[in-house]
Structure 1
Amino acid sequence: MSDAAHIPDEAETRARWGGFAWTPENAAQAEKIIARYPPGRQQSAVMPLLDLAQRQVGAETGTQGWLPVPVMEYIGAQLGMAYIRVYEVATFYTMYNLAPVGRYHVQVCGTTPCMLRGSDDVLEACYKKGLKKGATTADGLFTLTEVECLGACANAPMVQINDDNYEDLTFDSMTAVLDTLAAGGQPKIGPQVERQTSCPEGGPTTLQEMVSENHDYRGRWEAMGNAPA
């Protein structure tokens, strides 16, 4: 796992974020989120509100976003929660960034399936582009973090960059993903080899008509004498 990213000191953080408030659009969204829960249970909205706040901070800073302490305090006040309770949630889930990150947060899975399938090559591609674990590149584009399982083991090795997964990576394909992002483009999301989601590489070997449409096989089954009872 990487070293923790640098958190600005409290004075700097409060000077920048002490006046945090929802944008009009996010204020309306926050009310919709809170309204999903019964009266007295509004604290259940803490996770989606943290995500919404992180995205607002990201929009204001041109990054993926993070959660300064005053922002978490703001959410706690809105939900009637002690700040420490909000902080406990934010520190438990790695989807929340507790320190500033770049425009693209590159999270490389280093758990056993990805490691066996070449996550070291993926990390090496990142290093060759100047990324360092727990740090943001000087141009503010990339923050690199090594994380535990991201749930795409069948398509290892993989990374999550902001909201998107990039899978079946090699040194070369990871390099291409980073180059495309740096140039302002959008790399192909998902597997970087010829496969649909987690289907066999090269395409499915059975039920191939399902690739393009929700195919009805009943006529074929009936012709084979396998009509449903």
Structure 2
Amino acid sequence: MAVRRLHPEQPESFAFTPANRAWAEKVIARYPEGRQASAVIPLLWRAQEQHEGWLPEPAIRHVADMLSMPHIRVLEVATFYTMFQLAPLGKKAHVQVCGTTPCQLRGAEDLVRVCKAKIAAHAHELSEDGDFSWEEVECLGACVNAPMVQIFKDTYEDLTPESLEALLDDIAAGREVTPGPQTDRRFAMPEGGATSLTEIADTTTGGDPVPHVVDGAEAASHVFAGEAINAGGQDFDGVPAPQTTAKAAPKPVEKAKDVKPEAVEAAAAGAPGSVQSSLDLEGEGAPESEPDLLKGPRGGKPDDLKQLKGVGPKLEGVLNDLGIYHFDQVAAWGPEEVAWVDARLKFKGRIERDGWIEQARILAEGGETEFSQRVADGDVPSSKA
């Protein structure tokens, strides 16, 4: 490991801002008495973020005093972990070039040459204007998009020397940049284009499959022009913020016209078993519409709902108690009917996840699915009555 020393030029003092001080005290309070030293890494990280992205020696002493630790112990932590920067960083960008094997094989050395030419001859040196610095680091976790760099909290991938130069020029000029792949591919898809998960089936309306598109473009997380990172201490601290949106008022359990009375009574009482009313029957804003329900199976013979993927004997009983006995009932559901049934099942989302409606349409027409064939062959133990 390279020797890591404190920068020769240090500020006279350091103290957390009031917001960061309150945050630090909240973190320290998470640990039992005598174990406050466990908070050393998050406090050092917050101090680094407050002090323009690097950790000065007075900040190390300040954290040590807050945690009642010897100064040398906190200095050992700061100099051991390379996540802590011990020298000033570029005000507009600190470029971390991944130099691990995948990036090396894909041209990381060319990116290092760009940094040496455009920023400074050596790692951890500031550019002449003080706006840029760079270093080579180990794996940054985007191997499939090699070579790549990280600038503050964002990664820029699929780089070439030319695209890295253009990226640095854009940052220098204050132009907005987009993190992620710097080519036309999305995220980690193969270079030749996506070969899987290219579309999703619309299982609720019966429509044709629609393209699976994710618009992942987003602005860089850091601020240009040298503004201190996280100076206000407003980022996520591991403690969820209070809920600000009002929760919908609980919906009463309504008796469906064809639902068995005992099932409704069990649901209203929150009893375990056929209807799980105790799990979010209040709804979450999604419109619900009661599907066509039956008092009993037609001709006294229900369909084998266990031929639907995800439906075992117990869940089949729940559906029967609700008044659902046949594939054509399931096949007729739209989004509102799905929401109604979903609210009365123990595990929400399984209707769409397992594709019940699409399967039910095939089975209602007398066809077979891959899963129903497995059931018929006895390969699905959970679907046996």
TM-score (norm: length of structure 2): 0.51
Q: Distance in 1 between matches of 2:2 and 2:176?
A: 26
Determine the structure 2 residue equivalent to 1:91.
Answer: 79
Identity percentage of aligned residues = 50
Equivalent position amino acid for 2:145 in 1: N
What residue is the counterpart of 2:278 in the other structure? none
Residues 196 and 182 of structure 1, relative CA distance in 2, 3 Å threshold = same
Question: Deviation string for 1:170-198 (max 9, x for gaps)?
Answer: 11111121011111123211111233332
Secondary structure in 2 aligned to 1:145? strand
1 or 2 for the larger relative contact order (CA 8 Å, sep ≥6)? 1
Give the AA of the match of 1:155. Answer: N
SS of the counterpart of 2:189?
coil
RMSD: 2.7
Contact 2:171 2:177 in 1 (8 A): yes
Q: CA deviation at 1:85?
A: 1.4
In the alignment, structure 1 residue 38 sits paired with structure 2 residue 45: no
Matched, 1:166 2:156: yes
Q: Mean Cα displacement is larger for which, 71-80 or 95-104?
A: 95-104
Alignment of 1:226 with 2:370, yes or no, is yes
Q: What SS class does the counterpart of residue 144 from structure 1 fall into?
A: strand
- In structure 2, the partner of 1:201 is 191
- Output the CA distance in 1 between the equivalents of 2:181 and 2:28: 36
- Residues 119 and 126 in structure 2, CA contact (< 8 A), matched pair in contact too: no
Q: 1:100 aligns with which of 49, 74, 88?
A: 88
* Amino acid paired to 1:54: Q
Aligned residue in 1 for 2:67: 79
Answer yes or no: is 1:131 the counterpart of 2:105: no
Cα deviation, 1:153-176, whole Å, max 9, x if unaligned, reads: 221111111111111111111112
Q: 3-state DSSP class of the match of 1:33? A: helix
Between stretches 146-155 and 158-167, larger displacement belongs to: 146-155
> How far apart are the structure 2 equivalents of 1:3 and 1:40?
32
Q: 1:107 is paired with a residue of what secondary structure?
A: strand
Shift of 1:5: 8.6
SS at 2:188's partner residue?
A: coil
Unmatched segments (≥5 aa) in structure 1: 59-64
Q: Tell me what 1:212 maps to.
A: 213
Q: What TM-score do the two structures reach when normalised by structure 1?
A: 0.83
Match of 2:327 in 1: none
CA offset at residue 124 of structure 1? 2.6
Unaligned runs of 5+ in 2: 201-211, 215-348, 363-367, 373-382
Provide Cα deviations, 1:74-127, integer angstroms capped at 9, x if missing partner.
100101111111112111221111111212111111222111101122123223
Tell me the distance in 2 between the aligned counterparts of 1:171 and 1:2: 27
Question: Residues 151 and 173 from structure 1, CA distance in 2 versus in 1: closer, same or farther, beyond 3 angstroms?
Answer: same
Change (3 A) 1:5 1:196: farther
2:50 corresponds to: 56
- SS, match of residue 51 in structure 2: helix
Q: How many residues align?
A: 217
Instruction: Output the CA distance in 1 between the equivalents of 2:89 and 2:2.
Output: 14
CA, structure 1 residues 77+5, in 2 after alignment: closer, same or farther (shift >3 Å)?
closer
Deviations 1:43-97 (A, max 9, x none): 1111111111011111xxxxxx211111101100101111111112111221111
- 1:113-152 equivalences under 5 Å are 113-134=102-123, 135-152=125-142
Alignment correspondent of 1:61 = none
- Residue of structure 1 aligned with 2:100, choices 111, 122, 133: 111
| 1:17 counterpart = 2:18 | no
- Bigger radius of gyration among the two: 2
Does the 8 A contact of 1:114 with 1:153 survive in 2? yes
Aligned 8 A contact 1:102 1:136 in 2: yes
Matches of 1:113 and 1:206, distance apart in 2: 23
Secondary structure at 1:165's aligned position in 2? Answer: strand
C-alpha distance in structure 1 between counterparts of 2:117 and 2:358, whole Å: 54
